Amino acid sequence: MEKPVQLKDGVYWVGAIDWNVREFHGYTTSRGSTYNAYLVKGEKTALVDTVKAEFFPEMLARIKSIMDPAEIDYLIVNHVEMDHSGAIPMFVEQAPNAQLIATDNGIKALERHYRQELPIRKVRTGDEIALGAKTLQFLETYMLHWPDSMFTYLKEDCILMPNDGFGQHYASYHRFDDEDSLETIMDEAAKYFGNILMPLAPLIPPLLKKVKNMGIPIEMIAPSHGIIWRSHPDKIIQAYFDWSTGVAEEHVLIIYDTMWQSTETMAKVISQGISQAGVENKLIHVRKNHRSDIMKEILSAKILAIGSPTINEGIFPTVAELLIYLKGLRPLKKKGVAFGSYGWGGEAIPAINDAMKGMGIEVIDPGLSVMYVPGDEDLQNCFQMGEKIAASL
């Protein structure tokens, strides 16, 4: 039998664990994921979010172990992306008395996704639904991360249900942060932020301020993916504030690809120059790391040294693809330099510089090119570039 997990009296996790998902619209999920749905029982009952369609039987079994789904009064739709709404058409068949609750944009998105008449009620920031001894309050979070998004707050239990916010793609037997490795949870939370929420970072500090001004105590954060923050809600809130304001560690990422190891040799000597100055740095070969993992690393670095050979009068394709992905995610407060080898043209370096400037990265050096294979003088220049990078921190 699928077991629900109790968060507080009358509040249950009834979601599903996706142990084997390894790809999530272009994002690698090496640790799987979960789709969290929560059942809130007062005199009336609400289900907060559903799950990906294929996991509906798992969610339904958990609900049935608590109550008859036909007696559910409300379905709160915090977000219409299909990993949370996919089960709605099946759910409404099992819960014909449930009224759906969504933002104005949520209602429009549901119409466009499911093309069926659904019993929906619109809510706005501050609206409440009384379930008897429990009260749900809503906060619209436009563009965090879709136009339809909202948070649900369970007042009496001080539980924030922010859907994708504060989530992690992490499948675990455990449900709570004090039962699992905090290092792993934070690692996945950073990857989630770096790949999903980073372009929306400017919206986050005002939202956190708004939540603070609402005077709502938050004892627990129950997101729609991964582990529930029961013991460390302040830690993830602070991390979101830091990530969304560009707070980063004093370290450098050297991100490169290479054709015949000349650019790789440059990368390694630049790394030696940085290390000589006592600054932490990391070498990342673009073809050996998935872009979603690289984004997690970029989130916490202050300087990016981007290396590419010149090919076909431009940037090596894997590096160019990473730069396009990075541009869409709008990195905050980064500095950058370019380097790489070439045969006769050397167009990659100015192209990388232009790409970095175009996404707001401060270019701290015109860049370093080496013709064909680096010699002693070239290697000395690479070492010095490493020292210059370290000094610019």
Beta-carbon contacts of residue 212 (< 8 Å; ≥ 6 apart): none
Nearer to ligand FEO, 140 or 164 (CB): 164
Q: Of the listed 84, 145, 169, 232, which one is catalytic?
A: 145
Nearer to ligand FEO, 295 or 385 (CB): 295
- Is 234 catalytic? The answer is no
**Cis omega before residue 145 (within 30°)?**
yes
Nearer to ligand FEO, 145 or 232 (CB): 145
Please report how many Cα atoms fall inside a 13 Å half-sphere around the Cα of residue 201, on the Cβ side. 23
Considering all CA atoms of the chain, what is the largest pairwise distance in Å, rounded to the nearest integer?
78
Beta-carbon contacts of residue 340 (< 8 Å; ≥ 6 apart): 256, 263, 266, 307, 308, 309, 310, 316, 348, 349, 352, 368, 369, 370
Q: In the 8-state DSSP scheme, what is residue 176? A: B
- Is 290 catalytic? The answer is no
Q: Are strands 74-76 and 45-48 parallel, antiparallel or unpaired?
A: parallel
Nearer to ligand FEO, 79 or 191 (CB): 79
Q: Of the listed 58, 83, 188, 264, which one is catalytic?
A: 83
- Is 73 catalytic? The answer is no
- Is 164 catalytic? The answer is yes
CA dist., res. 306 & res. 357, Å (int) = 13
Do the beta carbons of residue 50 and residue 56 sit within 8 Å? yes
Phi-psi region for residue 81, left (φ > 0), alpha (ψ -120 to 50) or beta? beta
CB of 338 to ligand FEO, least distance (A): 34
CB of 117 to ligand FEO, least distance (A): 24
Q: Of the listed 170, 192, 240, 256, which one is catalytic?
A: 192
CB of 163 to ligand FEO, least distance (A): 7
- Is 25 catalytic? The answer is yes
- Is 293 catalytic? The answer is no
Q: Of the listed 164, 177, 264, 378, which one is catalytic?
A: 164
- Is 251 catalytic? The answer is no
CB of 35 to ligand FEO, least distance (A): 8
Nearer to ligand FEO, 79 or 335 (CB): 79
Q: Give the nearest residue (CB) to ligand FEO.
A: 81
CB of 53 to ligand FEO, least distance (A): 13
Nearer to ligand FEO, 70 or 143 (CB): 143
Q: Of the listed 84, 169, 225, 232, which one is catalytic?
A: 225
- Is 285 catalytic? The answer is no
Could you please report the per-residue DSSP string of 206-275? HHHHHHHHTT---SEE--SSS-BBSS-HHHHHHHHHHHHTT--EEEEEEEE--SSSHHHHHHHHHHHHHH
CB of 29 to ligand FEO, least distance (A): 11
Which residues of the chain form contacts with ligand FEO (CB under 6 A)? 79, 81, 83-84, 145, 164, 224-225
As annotated, the active-site residues are 25, 79, 81, 83, 145, 164, 192, 225
